[in-house]
Structure 1
Amino acid sequence: MQQGQRGFTLIEIAIVLVVIGLLLGGILKGQELITQGKIRGIEKELDGVSVAMLAYQDRYKALPGDDLNAKARWTDAENGDGDGEIDGAFNSATATDESRRLWHHLRRAGLIGGDTASPEQPVNPVGGRTGIQARLSDGTNTLIEGPVACTTNLPAKIANAIDAQQDDAKPDAGNVRGFGQSAANTPDFTTAVTAYADDGSKLYTLCKRV
């Protein structure tokens, strides 16, 4: 006579559930560690840009990008106009903008890493761009007198954490400002954001004074 198959006992089911719980907990913990690493990487990049800007000014008595004598130092560099402001948007793709030449000057001076012949803005840990411009404005009012550094494509969780750690966690106030994006690397500076909406889809740009 053939015996029927034995079912799982409550103990076996409990063990399986515990194992699944441990695996899920480990995955979630790993994701949190990855997110925290990205937060620290972005903060380190912003702080590094500030240090590099100050070091360049201390060494050459000029703003990188705006430097009127850059070509005298490096033959492949282009001079700025020397008016004391960095012309062009932080995310500019125009080679003649000072906000692009700035990165070439900093790399030529050995103050940041990367290809010394390149004017490309650095890529942040979430695949966005980090750049610098003269000031932050909503089109009518100056929000932060510059220079300001902006970094793009930040998920709400990361933008909120950086704003909280470096300022007040309020995107529309303080020394760190947050803005929604109309497209990748393209912030909408004209529309105020009052909270970082963590809906899994919205991306933000953060800007702070250098």
Structure 2
Amino acid sequence: MKRTQQGFTLVEIAIVLVIVGLMIGGLITPLSAQLEQRRVGDTQKALDDAREALIGFALRNGYLPCPAVSASNGLEDRSENRCRGERRVGYLPWATLGLSKLDSWNRLYRYSVSPGFSDSAVHFNFQTARDISIATRDGGGNLVPATLANDIPAVILSHGKNGFGASTDQGTLVADTSATNQDEKVNASSATAFIARDASDNPAAPGGEYDDLVTWVSPYILFNRLVAAQRLP
């Protein structure tokens, strides 16, 4: 008796491929989200390390470093006792501090320092002026100035995944692809006023899309370390 050989029909194969595709798609999305979360975590740790490096620099030298010379030269750009051309915002001086140059998205960190704290001729003290502030948004989305920190010596930030305001390793400025990211625009252009808030990819959110990561040097921690090291008063 002849046996009829059974096999998959084209329809059955198509159904199997659809199911496999859905399964793979379901795996890719969580993996992508996990990878992005890891990048955020790694960059936040790098920012925390940068803050500690700035405090360590101040302990050794009695002042904070100037911004870097350029995107390719990570040494602080100092002319005699002050930042060259009185420039107080730019790239984090990674080479001077012994840090990694780029964040997890391969872009340079932004850095701003209060001028009185970068003056190497007159070392800063408790009365030295601090002019940087960090605002945030409350539960209703209202901008609350200087809520997180006021009158701080220095701030370091990563411009996050979208990179608006950041520079690549070659010094190319990342283009802005949004018309609504107002808070990111503040961080990309200001030397003294910055905004730190929860990340959002919603253009309709107050302040627009936002993925910047912001860290700052607390004057209280800085002064406490200097007092403990007998560098102050």
So what's the TM-score if we normalise by structure 1?
A: 0.51
**Is 1:155–1:203's contact at 8 Å kept on the other side of the alignment?**
no
Partner of residue 149, structure 1:
155
Report the AA paired with residue 97 of structure 1. R
Find out whether 1:52 has 2:53 as its counterpart. Answer: yes
**Is 1:153–1:203's contact at 8 Å kept on the other side of the alignment?**
no
Structure 1 residues 47, 101: CA separation in 2 closer, same or farther (over 3 Å shift)? closer
Question: What's the RMSD between the two structures over aligned residues?
Answer: 4.4
Partner of residue 97, structure 1:
87
Q: Matches of 2:40 and 2:32 in 1, distance apart?
A: 12
**Is 2:54–2:64's contact at 8 Å kept on the other side of the alignment?**
yes
Structure 1 residues 190, 196: CA separation in 2 closer, same or farther (over 3 Å shift)? same
Once the two structures are superposed, the pairs formed by residues 195-210 of structure 1 within 5 Å of their partners are 196-199=199-202, 202-210=209-217
Partner of residue 37, structure 1:
38
Report the AA paired with residue 136 of structure 1. S
**Equivalent pairs: percent with the same residue?**
11
Report the AA paired with residue 184 of structure 2. Q
Report the AA paired with residue 208 of structure 1. T
* Structure 1: unaligned runs, 5 residues or longer: 1-5, 67-73, 82-86, 88-93, 114-121, 157-178
SS in 2 for 1:185: helix
Q: Matches of 2:192 and 2:199 in 1, distance apart?
A: 15
CA drift at 1:149:
2.3
Structure possessing the higher relative contact order (Cα contacts under 8 Å, 6 or more residues apart) = 2
* Structure 2: unaligned runs, 5 residues or longer: 1-7, 68-74, 115-131, 136-143, 163-181, 218-233
**Is 1:152–1:187's contact at 8 Å kept on the other side of the alignment?**
no
Paired residue total: 152
So what's the TM-score if we normalise by structure 2?
A: 0.47
Partner of residue 111, structure 2:
131
Q: Matches of 1:41 and 1:151 in 2, distance apart?
A: 13
CA drift at 1:56:
0.7
CA drift at 1:16:
2.0
CA drift at 1:63:
1.9
**Is 1:155–1:198's contact at 8 Å kept on the other side of the alignment?**
no
**Is 1:124–1:130's contact at 8 Å kept on the other side of the alignment?**
no
